[in-house]
Structure 1
Amino acid sequence: MDLYRVLTTRDCTVCGAFFGGFLFLPSATRCCFPCFRTAEELRMLGTATFCKVTDVKMGEARPHIQEATLRTVPGRYVERPKHLIAVKEALEALTAHGVAFQQPPREPEILTAADARRSDALRKRHMACTALPWRGADAAQSESGVFCKGCFRGHVLRGMRERDRAPRERMFSLEGLLAHFTECGDAKAMWAESRNRHTPPPNMV
């Protein structure tokens, strides 16, 4: 029933702003891609790093954080640790059992500006997450989310870098996309252009 409840929840339960196309495995949390990449509550650390930043010995922590420890999802990674720890859930477990720990600094403070180290943190999140479609209790079929091509085109036309993927990371359900369309000038412009291309000349009507 817990998994069914997540399956039938449409939006990200972290921010509530976008379609949640992903499942964060340690806590069975439905999330959107922007939250998946940056939210502190979805942060993962290797076991050695977790003990280092919290100043807790693994022998002391292990009995209390088993439910926050994940065997990593197989995939193509530069390096795949066997286990990762969901930081939020682990800290809550240590608190509940009265284990003293040092509050870890926020992720940008642990990670330097070096791209390689920042991407390593993102890889750890990838190892703890999987795509999950949404299916409403009365829906005829499931949805995996769509993005707005109008937002993406406007993003590029305004000189944003191609590698800045923000418009493609904001996903919507079909219902959400229709609501978004009413306020997206770029999408309306694309729609108008499309209709004009497919309107026959007057003498062919």
Structure 2
Amino acid sequence: MDTVTSRENRSATEYHFLGEQEDAIIRATAYHNKEYDLSVISFPSRTRNGIRRSVSRPFPRAPNASLGTLDRLPLELLVYVSLHLDIYSLFKFRQTNLRSRQVIDSLQEYRAVTSHGLNPLYALLRTQLATYVSLSDFYNVLCTNNCAFCGEFGGFVFLPTWSRCCFECVKKAPETQMQTLASLRKQFRLTQAAISKLRCFKTLPGIYTMDESTYKSRFKIVPVHQAMLVSGKQPQAGEQPPTPRPIYRYNYMASCALPYYERRSGRVEYGISCAGCQLFRGKVYAQGGFLEHFKWCKGAQREWEFRVGVKRSTRSQRNGGYFRRKY
């Protein structure tokens, strides 16, 4: 049962609408909260446009050099190898010559990633986490819509483990808690060998959290959960985990917005929230989930009827008539 519609905002009866009204209902009663996207790692549009030109535009001329012994492989095997290259190696291979660029650019998975995942793609390269994520890994998470930790719609990805997550889990899930390397090294007495097993990286300068805090300096952060596993200091049953006080801003510095790509239809979803809910406004839905929510949400239904009423009223007045909404 949807938490939002389980209280006083829940309609007594299910609201019925026609299939052709779905898009109009979503436009009228739902919105995408861009503040969530900007509170994590994000890059300005001019940066994304520059990246898009360099990673997705094929050269107009035909290749005049081969891949050497790699060209002896069957095309299916070459595609398989390309899909399982990590992102860093994939771009190195793509820069070899025009033939390698042609091979990579022809992959459906690569085109989807460079079309809809530029922010996290650039974030992986800038944080040097790109060696841990293959093209296949990237594409599979891009085509997954549920949070790996709570099962709700997830419009974000946690970079150190490359896991789809929702905004609430970015803040609160135990698996997404981040701390500075210096703090965890001191607390868990991590050796250099232990640190080498962690996905630690330097933060990127930018504006983070819903409070829009600006950070210009770079420092190393690491997942607390990984540090606990490596150190062997897992708590016993009933004990509190020996983790430092959560500092949520570090979690934002390790996450990035990632839309959901429906591979069959090619539809892209960024996640939408209900404009009619006064409480729980932060809950994010996929389109199908929102339409189910709409059937029982009185606030969303009022928004829809108001929008329809305004449009009908305008048309009626033009025709010399008068329309009154009924509740």
TM-score (norm 2): 0.48
Q: 2:290 aligns with which of 165, 177, 188?
A: 177
Report the counterpart of residue 101 of structure 1 in structure 2: 233
Post-superposition offset of 1:124: 0.7
> SS of the counterpart of 2:276?
helix
Aligned residues: 172
Report the counterpart of residue 72 of structure 1 in structure 2: 203
Q: How does 1:51-62 map to 2 (within 5 A)?
A: 51-54=185-188, 56-62=189-195
- Tell me, in whole angstroms, the C-alpha distance in 2 between the residues paired with 1:198 and 1:179: 24
Change (3 A) 1:58 1:82: farther
Change (3 A) 1:80 1:86: farther
CA contact (8 A) 1:23 1:129 kept: yes
Report the counterpart of residue 204 of structure 1 in structure 2: 321
Q: 1:140 aligns with which of 263, 266, 277?
A: 266
CA contact (8 A) 1:70 1:86 kept: no
> SS of the counterpart of 2:201?
strand
**Greater gyration radius:** 2
Q: Percent identity?
A: 30
CA contact (8 A) 2:155 2:257 kept: yes
* 1:126 and 2:257 matched: no
> SS of the counterpart of 2:268?
coil
Q: 2:182 aligns with which of 31, 45, 48?
A: 48
Change (3 A) 1:177 1:89: same
Residue identity matched to 2:182: A
Report the counterpart of residue 33 of structure 2 in structure 1: none
* 1:63 and 2:199 matched: no
Post-superposition offset of 1:102: 6.8
Report the counterpart of residue 91 of structure 1 in structure 2: 228
Report the counterpart of residue 162 of structure 2 in structure 1: 28
> SS of the counterpart of 1:30?
strand
Runs of 4+ in 1 over 4 A off after TM superposition: none
RMSD: 2.4
CA contact (8 A) 1:74 1:127 kept: no
CA contact (8 A) 2:205 2:216 kept: no
Post-superposition offset of 1:3: 1.0
CA contact (8 A) 2:228 2:234 kept: no
Q: How does 1:4-15 map to 2 (within 5 A)?
A: 4-15=139-150
TM-score (norm 1): 0.73
Residue identity matched to 1:29: S
> SS of the counterpart of 2:141?
helix
